[in-house]
């Protein structure tokens, strides 16, 4: 083989390696890995993140946005006297809690949609029934307008608008939130396959 042919072959080998390396870099930037594993989508309008909030948990402690910063968490909305979808949702949430309760960077936020009834003692009794430790599973109450605004505008689990004191949020959706406060998935909390996907997606987020 001539010297010229060797130089040309070497050049194309280097060029191909450079191209593959650049392609891998682009794929990593888009998907998070050199192998093209797809990242979870970011839901909502561009730049959407969970807004600030201030609620009270089952121990009577104030919880705010600063308390979830740097955490992966699941948010839901329920009420303790519900006999419809809520018992099924929280039975499924028990499974999520059991899997991740020892993860220091994971939380569950369960917001009541009936704050007039669901006082701190009521939420405490409900949390105890689910064997929920307040260090990482919060049952939250507070101002009704703020609770509903969070369901609709922050977590995107309800598409209604606040219509006054007779307004009511009743939604089966769980929202998965990443460490930057972005919504990365919505899941029907009454469906086992959706809850299984939620747990698989939590695992993926923890690897990002």
Task: Please state the residue numbers annotated as binding site.
Answer: 82, 86, 170
Asked if 62 and 56 count as a contact pair (C-beta separation under 8 A), the reply is yes
CA dihedral 109, 105, 100, 36 (to 10 degrees): 110
Q: How far are the Cα atoms of 31, 44, 207 from residue 26, in angstroms, in the given order?
A: 9, 24, 19
Distance (Å, whole) CA 27 – CA 204:
17
Rounded CA separation 75/97 (Å): 12
- Cβ atoms 68, 100 nearer than 8 A: no
Binding residue positions for Cu cation: 82, 86, 170
Q: Which of 173, 178, 118, 166 is nearest to 151 (CA)?
A: 173
The Cα 5–Cα 98 span in angstroms is 64
Q: Say how far apart CA 78 and CA 48 lie, in whole Å.
A: 24
């Amino acid at each position: 083989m001539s010297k010229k042919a060797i130089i040309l072959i070497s050049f194309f080998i280097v060029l191909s390696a450079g191209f593959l390396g650049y392609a891998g870099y682009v794929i990593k930037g888009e998907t998070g890995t050199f192998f093209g594993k797809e990242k979870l989508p970011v839901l909502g309008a561009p730049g959407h993140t969970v807004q600030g909030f201030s609620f009270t948990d089952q121990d009577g402690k104030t919880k705010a946005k600063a308390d979830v910063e740097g955490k992966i968490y699941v948010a839901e909305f329920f009420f303790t006297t519900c006999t419809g979808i809520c018992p099924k949702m929280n039975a499924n949430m028990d499974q999520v809690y059991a899997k991740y309760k020892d993860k220091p960077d994971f939380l569950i936020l369960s917001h009541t949609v009936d704050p007039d009834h669901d006082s701190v003692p009521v939420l405490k009794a409900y949390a105890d029934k689910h064997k929920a430790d307040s260090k990482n599973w919060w049952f939250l109450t507070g101002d009704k307008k703020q609770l509903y605004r969070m369901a609709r505008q922050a977590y995107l689990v309800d598409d209604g608008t606040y219509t006054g004191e007779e307004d009511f949020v009743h939604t089966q959706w769980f929202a998965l939130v990443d460490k930057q406060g972005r919504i990365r998935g919505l899941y029907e909390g009454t469906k086992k396959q959706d809850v299984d996907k939620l747990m698989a997606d939590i695992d993926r987020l923890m690897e990002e």
